[in-house]
Every structure is written in C-alpha cells, then in structure tokens.
Structure 1
Amino acid sequence: MKWFFKILVLSLMLQSFQCTDTNDSSDTITAAQLETKKQEIQNYINSFSCSDSVGCGYIAFGSKPCGGPWSYLVFSNSIDLAKLQKMVKNYNEMNKLYNSQAGIFSDCMIVMPPKEVKCINGVCTAIN
C-alpha cells in the first residue's frame, strides 16, 4: 500500500510539471492574415490624396525579428492619424507574433526612415 501511495503522489507531481502548449491554434497568425491587414492599411492610406498645403507624413511599418520596422509607409496628413496608428500598431503586433510563431529571421539591418516625404501629383512619395 505504501508503494501505491508513493506512485500516486509521484504521478500527480509529474503531471503538475508537464509542459503545456500555450499557443492556442486560434492565436496562430498566418502570412495570409498579415497580407490582408497590410492591404487594408494600404487601401486606407490610398483613399486620401495630398496637396502641398496638406503635406505628407510617414510611419514605421512591420516588426523585424531583430527589432525595428521592415519599412515605412507614407501617407497624406489629411488622414485620421489616430486610426492609422491603431491599424499599424495592430499589424506590427501581429507581425511580431507571426515572426515568433513561424521562426522568421531577418538581416537585422536598420531600415532608415525617409529623408523627406513630398506630395507629387497628389500622391505622397518618399524621397531618399
């Protein structure tokens, strides 16, 4: 009976130390989901035109595994900046999670922001 009790206690202890998979399959980010979000953001940006009086801006976009953005998006200052920032923040968080889940790696080079952004023919353009 003592052996039975010891085995029971030992098995309960071992179960409490089991590794559990904390990644719920519903939390898994796919490349297709990222592409869809990216296209939504790009479509939103493209729905605004610029002019010399309105001007343009840029925002860091994506999340490299080594840190920093993959690129910068340029946009018209007539955009709802708070909405764009929220959309980009959500995308960047998804991208960071995707990198971790998929084992993505990068060159770790720093992507510099545009030196200047200008409105050219109604379209915000990065000048490097």
Structure 2
Amino acid sequence: MKSILKLFVLALLLQSFQCDEDRQDPITEQQLNLLKQEIVDYIDSFECENSENCNTIAFGVKPCGGPIEYLTFPSSVDLNELEAMVESYNQLNLEYNIQTNAVSDCAFVLPPQTVECDNGSCIIVDN
C-alpha cells in the first residue's frame, strides 16, 4: 500500500515539474502538507538505536532562501530515497513561493546543535 501511495505522489510530482506554460493548476498548500506528511511518515517508519544514529536534513525553502526547518531521521533510512523526497518537496515549495509571491522573516535557520534518540525516534533537543 505504501509503495502505491509513493508511486501516486511521485506521478503527481512529475506532473508538477512540467514547464510553467504547461501548468494548469497552481500548487496548493494542501499538496505541500500532504507531501510533507508522506516524508514524515517515511522517516517514522524507521527507528534509531542510539543518538549517534540520528541525522538532520534541511527541509523546505523560505522565500528569501534557506531552509524552513530541519527534519531528524535515523541512519537506517534509505538516504538516497529521503534526499530525493526532500528535494522534490523543496522544488515544489520553491514553485509555490514564486506563485504566491510569498514573503518570510528571512531569518536564517541553523542546523540543530543536539539531536538524540528517544524511544526509537530522533528528536531535536535544542537548537
């Protein structure tokens, strides 16, 4: 079932990367939220064993540049798959920002200083 959902989202993303003149529907916040949830669900399907197995990845694109936040993930994930999913999200987020003339605070979001494994999940302890 998960692979069918992934294929559906991938097909949706591939359609969204067509040239602007071919785009018929604008990107919606709901599309971004669904894609983010898929990424979070993917990460949550893996467990960490200890804090040394936890990593972070920049996620989202602020209108003035830089990531919106950092996601934590255990090293047991397929890093290539996670990076591809996040890159797809970031590209869609960038297009959404352009379409909506989005603005932000332009504050630079730093990577977390401390990430730990807590009950099988990687969490940000402080930032």
Q: TM-score range by the shorter chain?
A: 0.7 to 0.9
The runs of 4+ residues in structure 1 deviating greater than 2 Å are 22-28
Aligned residue pairs, count: 107
Q: Which residue of 1 aligns with 2:90?
A: 92
CA distance in 2, matches of 1:123, 1:25: 38
Q: Which residue of 2 aligns with 1:70?
A: 68
- 1:54·1:78 contact (CA, 8 Å) conserved in 2? no
Any stretches of 5+ residues in structure 2 without a counterpart?
A: 1-19
- 2:51·2:117 contact (CA, 8 Å) conserved in 1? no
Any stretches of 5+ residues in structure 1 without a counterpart?
A: 1-21
Change beyond 3 A, Cα 1:103–1:120: same
| TM-score under structure 2 length normalisation | 0.79
Identity %: 50
Q: Which residue of 2 aligns with 1:83?
A: 81
1:24-52 CA-to-partner distances (Å, cap 9, x unmatched) read 44362111111110010010000001102
CA distance in 2, matches of 1:54, 1:115: 13
Residues 26-37 of structure 1: matches in 2 within 5 Å? 26=24, 28-37=26-35
CA distance in 2, matches of 1:76, 1:89: 18
Q: Which has the higher Rg, Structure 1 or Structure 2?
A: 1
CA distance in 2, matches of 1:117, 1:46: 15
Q: Which residue of 2 aligns with 1:41?
A: 39
| TM-score under structure 1 length normalisation | 0.78
Change beyond 3 A, Cα 1:33–1:54: same
> What's the RMSD between the two structures over aligned residues?
1.5
CA distance in 2, matches of 1:62, 1:47: 21
| Residue identity matched to 2:79 | L
